[in-house]
Structure 1
Amino acid sequence: MMDRIMAMQTFVRIVDTNSFTRAAQSLGIPRATATTLVQSLEAMLGIQLLVRTTRRLNLTAEGAAYYERCVQILADIDDIEASLRHPDDRPRGRLRVEMPAVVANAIIFPALDDFHARHEHILLAFGVSNRQVDLVGEAIDCCILTGALPGSGLAARRLGALERVTCASPLYLARYGTPLQFEELTDHVAVNCMRAQTGRAVDFDFQVNDDTVNVPLGGFVQVSDEHAYLECGVRGFGLIQPPRALAQPYLDSGRLREVLPHYRPAPMPVSVAYLRHRRVPLHVLAFVNWLAELFETARHVSHELPDVSRILRGMEANEPAGV
C-alpha cells in the first residue's frame, strides 16, 4: 500500500528541485522509489501531474493545483506534530544557514550570544562561503545573500546594505600617490575582486552626484575571498573597496587609509532568503526576525532603501562579488 504522505512529500520535493534525482537524494531514498511513488500517486488520482522532457519537468494544470494543496497539507502536518511534541510552542530544532564570511565575521558571530539566550533550543549549523546554494537540494533552511535578490522560487527579506570604503596601505600611497578625484584613478592599480561564479573582476564604483559611476581598474592580483582581498590591500598590492565593517580595524590602526572619501562606493545590499511556505517554520522565522533586528543596530550598515534599489540595478548589470 502506498504511503500517501511520503508520496506527497516526494512529489513536492521533485517540483521544488525540478529533478527526480536531487529530490531522491535530499529525501534519502533511491531514485526508482521516487519515480514509483509519483506514478502511484498519478494512478490513484487518475491524472497526470508532471510532463517529463529530456531537459526539465513541467507541471500540468492539475499538477500545479495539487502541488499547492500538498504544500499546505504537509505544512499543517508539520505544525500538528510540532505542537504535540513541544506544547510550549518555542522555536527549536537544527537550523542550517549559509552565509558569506564578511557577514558572518563582522555581524553575525559577534552577536550569537544574544540569539542563543533568546532561543536556547535552536541548534545552529553555519556554512560560511560565497558560493551559490541550493536550499532544497542541500536541505538548507535559509541563506544570507549579498547583491541582487534571489529568483521567484524563494522568499526574501532585505536586511540592509553594508557600507564600503575605498582604501589603500601607506606603502601603496607612498608609491603611487593619493588620488583626490576619481578621474585620477587611471594612474592607479587595484586588487581585483573576482566573482567566483563567473571569474570576472568587479569594477570599482563611486557615488557621484546621486549616481553610481563604475571605474574598471587594472592590477596584478586577483582574489575571490574577502579576507585575502583585505590582506592584499594591507600589503600594498593596490586599492581596495572592502566592506567598512571589515576594514575599520585596519583604518583605526593606520594600516589602511581611506581615499576619495567624498566619492564613497555604493553600499552592498544584504538579504536573507528561505523557501516559500504558507507557514514559515518557527525556528526559521525566529532567526530571520533576529537578523532584521540585528541589522537595524549594526555598525556600518545603511538602510537608505532608495539608494539601495538604484545600486542593485547597477550590481545586476556588473555581476558583483560577494565581498
Structure 2
Amino acid sequence: MDRFNAMRVFTRIVELGGFAKAADSLQVPRASATVLIKQLEAHLGVQLLQRTTRQVSPTLDGAAYYQRCVQLLADLEETEAVFSARRQNPRGTLSIDMPSGIGRLIVIPALPTFTALYPQIELEIGLNDRPVDLIREGVDCVLRGGPALDESLVARPLAMMDQLTLASPNYLEHMGMPSSLDDLGRHQMVEYLSSASGKRFGLEFQIGTELRQVHLPKRIAVNSSDGYFAACEAGYGLIQAPHYHAMRQLAAGTLVQVLPQLAVPKMALTALYPPHRQLSQRVRVFVDWLVQLCARPGTGLQR
C-alpha cells in the first residue's frame, strides 16, 4: 500500500464527503479509492470513515487522523518543492474561485502570462459570487471583494478597489441628475443582496471621516454582480460598484457616473486560502502573480 497516496485519498474523501467525488477529484478509479481506504484502516487497526447511503463522514479517530494527514501532506509537498526543480516549476491542478466580473474582466484575460511562466500548472476556475467552502469543495484559493468573513482562512490583500456611483442615461433622463446627497431623496436604487452573508447593501459615501449610509426605495434586489449591473442598465436605479467592472459600460455610454464629487469607500480585494495550503508552491506562485497583476496600471482596480 502506498500510504501517502492512501492519505491523499482519505483527506479528499473527508473534504468532499464521498468516495465518488474524491475519486473524480483525484482522477483515480472509485474502486481503487475504496481499496486504499480499506487497506489504510486495516493497517491502522481503526475505522476512519462512517458510511451511510447519503454521505461519508470521519469517525472520531478519522477526524484526528485527518488533521495529521493534512499537515503531513503539506510538509511533504513543501519538502519536495525545496529539494527539486518543482520549486521553480510547480506542477499539478490548482482550483480557484472568484467573482465573475474579476474573472472575466481582469484575471482570465491576463492568464496567458501566468500559464507561460508555469506551464505545468493546470487551472480549474469557478466564476460566481456565492460563498465557497474551500475544504469541502476542494478549492485551493478564492478571490473575494469586501471584508474577509472567515477568520480560519489565510488572507492575502491584493488591492483596495476604487468604487463609483452609477446610473443609466435612460434613468437619469426620467429622474434627473442628482447633484448632492439631498437630491437623492427623489431617487431609487438597485439593492445588492450578498450571497455570502445575506446582508443587503444600499449606497455609502465617505464624507470626511464619516461614513454616510443611504438607503433609497428599490424595485429590484439581486445577488450577483452581473445582475446588479444589468438592473442598473435597465433603468432601475443607482448602484455603486468597483471601477474595473464599469469601465466597459462607461466607455460605451450605457452607464454614467453620478455624484463624482462624493467619495465612495474603497472595496478590499483579497485572496483567501486554507492554512494548510500556504505551503503549496502552486498557491504561492499564483497569489504572488495576482499581487503583481492587481498593481498593474490599466486594470481599473485603482485609479
Q: TM-score, normalised by structure 2?
A: 0.77
Measured after TM superposition, the shift of residue 250 of structure 1 is: 2.4
Q: CA-to-partner distance for each residue in 1:234-281, whole Å, 9 max, x for gaps?
A: 232211212211212322343322111122221221111112138622
Question: What is aligned with 1:190?
Answer: 189
Residue 134 of structure 2 aligns to a residue whose secondary structure is coil
Question: What is aligned with 1:75?
Answer: 74
Q: TM-score, normalised by structure 1?
A: 0.73
Which 5+ residue runs of structure 2 have no aligned equivalent? 25-29, 50-56
Residue 212 of structure 1 aligns to a residue whose secondary structure is strand
Distance 1:118 1:8, change over 3 A: closer
Question: What is aligned with 2:127?
Answer: 128
Distance 1:214 1:85, change over 3 A: same
Which 5+ residue runs of structure 1 have no aligned equivalent? 51-55, 304-323
Question: What is aligned with 2:174?
Answer: 175
Measured after TM superposition, the shift of residue 200 of structure 1 is: 5.0
The structure whose residues are more often strand, as a share, is: 2
- Is the Cα contact below 8 Å between 2:163 and 2:240 reproduced in 1? yes
Deviates more, 1:183-192 or 1:251-260: 251-260
Measured after TM superposition, the shift of residue 166 of structure 1 is: 0.6
Give the root-mean-square deviation of aligned CA atoms: 3.7
Residue 136 of structure 2 aligns to a residue whose secondary structure is coil
Question: What is aligned with 2:301?
Answer: 301
The reply to whether residue 153 of structure 1 matches residue 149 of structure 2 is no
Alignment of 1:100-139 (within 5 A): 100-139=99-138
Residue 207 of structure 1 aligns to a residue whose secondary structure is strand
Distance 1:217 1:93, change over 3 A: same
Measured after TM superposition, the shift of residue 151 of structure 1 is: 2.2
Alignment of 1:57-72 (within 5 A): 70-72=69-71
Question: What is aligned with 2:52?
Answer: none
The code of the aligned residue for 1:137 comes to R
Question: What is aligned with 1:283?
Answer: 282
Q: Percent identity?
A: 33
The code of the aligned residue for 1:268 comes to M
Measured after TM superposition, the shift of residue 35 of structure 1 is: 9.0
Question: What is aligned with 2:93?
Answer: 94
Distance 1:199 1:277, change over 3 A: closer
Distance 1:9 1:150, change over 3 A: farther
Alignment of 1:18-57 (within 5 A): 21=17, 25-26=21-22
- Is the Cα contact below 8 Å between 1:72 and 1:278 reproduced in 2? no
Distance 1:201 1:34, change over 3 A: farther
The code of the aligned residue for 1:192 comes to E
- Is the Cα contact below 8 Å between 2:78 and 2:279 reproduced in 1? no
Question: What is aligned with 1:306?
Answer: none
Distance 1:211 1:40, change over 3 A: farther
Alignment of 1:264-275 (within 5 A): 264-275=263-274
Residue 229 of structure 2 aligns to a residue whose secondary structure is helix
Q: Separation in 2 of the partners of 1:226 and 1:202?
A: 12
The code of the aligned residue for 1:269 comes to A
Measured after TM superposition, the shift of residue 58 of structure 1 is: 10
- Is the Cα contact below 8 Å between 2:162 and 2:267 reproduced in 1? yes
The code of the aligned residue for 2:300 comes to H
Q: CA-to-partner distance for each residue in 1:52-86, whole Å, 9 max, x for gaps?
A: xxxx98989xx87x776544432233345668985
Q: CA-to-partner distance for each residue in 1:261-313, whole Å, 9 max, x for gaps?
A: 1222212211111121386221211100000111112443349xxxxxxxxxx
Distance 1:34 1:116, change over 3 A: closer
The code of the aligned residue for 2:301 comes to V
Q: Separation in 2 of the partners of 1:119 and 1:139?
A: 21
Measured after TM superposition, the shift of residue 142 of structure 1 is: 0.8
- Is the Cα contact below 8 Å between 1:191 and 1:237 reproduced in 2? yes
Question: What is aligned with 1:254?
Answer: 253
The reply to whether residue 218 of structure 1 matches residue 214 of structure 2 is no
